[in-house]
Structure 1
């Protein structure tokens, strides 16, 4: 069983496989995203958090997912262009994944096992569920989709 997110490899939105070990020593916020969601405007808040704290060691990692109301139908190029054009996203985006079910990405199974939702539920409820990960790669907290990125800033600042 994995001990930290640093043990996982994922594909960037351009298809390049990268190891999350490159984020060792950084505070990481992992988010499942979607371009056609009521919470999509959170991209702006996530980008603000990233810009404000990346020099102190914050990484924001966006994982597009089409499992909730089919709100992320585009391919990697479309998703990337949408995020850049509409929200000026500069934090890393990754290939579209599944976060629940038999085909859930191993990273997300690890996140869900280590930070459960309300009433101990593992299942991701919707887009823009956020996981805060410490510098050691261990999951510290899960935030609901309704939690705005700016509401997480104080938790992040304590860890930096």
Structure 2
């Protein structure tokens, strides 16, 4: 269950996910130097709009995708505060795939597998990029890129996975349904 996990905040303190029982959660792996980094603005807008109704966004910076989060934890916090005025909780930089992945991500990926990037120019570009690196990328549940989001309802069920190419309006609609 989602509430069995503990993360490290960017300041090194423990964050028990059990503290978020009854909340709607979005887990997102982020990067400061990615083409999708402007999604921070939309995430912050969503946070401001729905936080008082029970939404929490948990930001987990990750440097696994073309090293697009090169800063240390303090640098990432500074970047997000200055450029996007984010107020939602930020964890320590961590891996979301591979032998050192956070156990939380092992669980999230087991609950919501990769279903594709959808349609459109960005979706096609992502598919082409990943196909060059791994012809069979569609066949595993790994996180494919920065700004993959998992939506968790108030009961702790992982009910959605949103790729970085998915519409933020679809994510917001999912949040509204959970609230």
Count residues with an aligned counterpart: 157
Query: Please, which runs of 5 or more residues in structure 1 have no aligned partner?
Result: none
Distance verdict in 2 for CA 1:12–1:50, change over 3 Å = same
SS in 1 for 2:18: helix
SS in 2 for 1:127: coil
Where does 1:77-116 land on structure 2 (aligned, <5 Å)?
Answer: 77-116=74-113
Q: Distance in 1 between matches of 2:69 and 2:33?
A: 6
SS in 1 for 2:29: strand
Distance verdict in 2 for CA 1:142–1:120, change over 3 Å = farther
Q: Distance in 2 between matches of 1:128 and 1:9?
A: 21
Cα shift at 1:86: 0.2
Cα shift at 1:31: 0.2
SS in 2 for 1:50: helix
Say which structure, 1 or 2, has more relative contact order (CA 8 Å, 6+ apart). Answer: 1
Cα shift at 1:120: 5.6
Q: Which residue of 2 aligns with 1:140?
A: 159
SS in 1 for 2:98: coil
Q: Distance in 2 between matches of 1:158 and 1:113?
A: 22
Moved segments of 4+, more than 3 Å = none
Return the index of the structure with the highest Cα Rg.
2
SS in 2 for 1:107: helix
TM (normalized to structure 1)? 0.95
Where does 1:70-81 land on structure 2 (aligned, <5 Å)?
Answer: 70-81=67-78
Query: Please, which runs of 5 or more residues in structure 2 have no aligned partner?
Result: 116-137
Q: Which residue of 1 aligns with 2:122?
A: none
Greater mean alpha carbon deviation, residues 133-142 or residues 74-83: 133-142
Where does 1:1-160 land on structure 2 (aligned, <5 Å)?
Answer: 4-118=1-115, 121-160=140-179
TM (normalized to structure 2)? 0.85
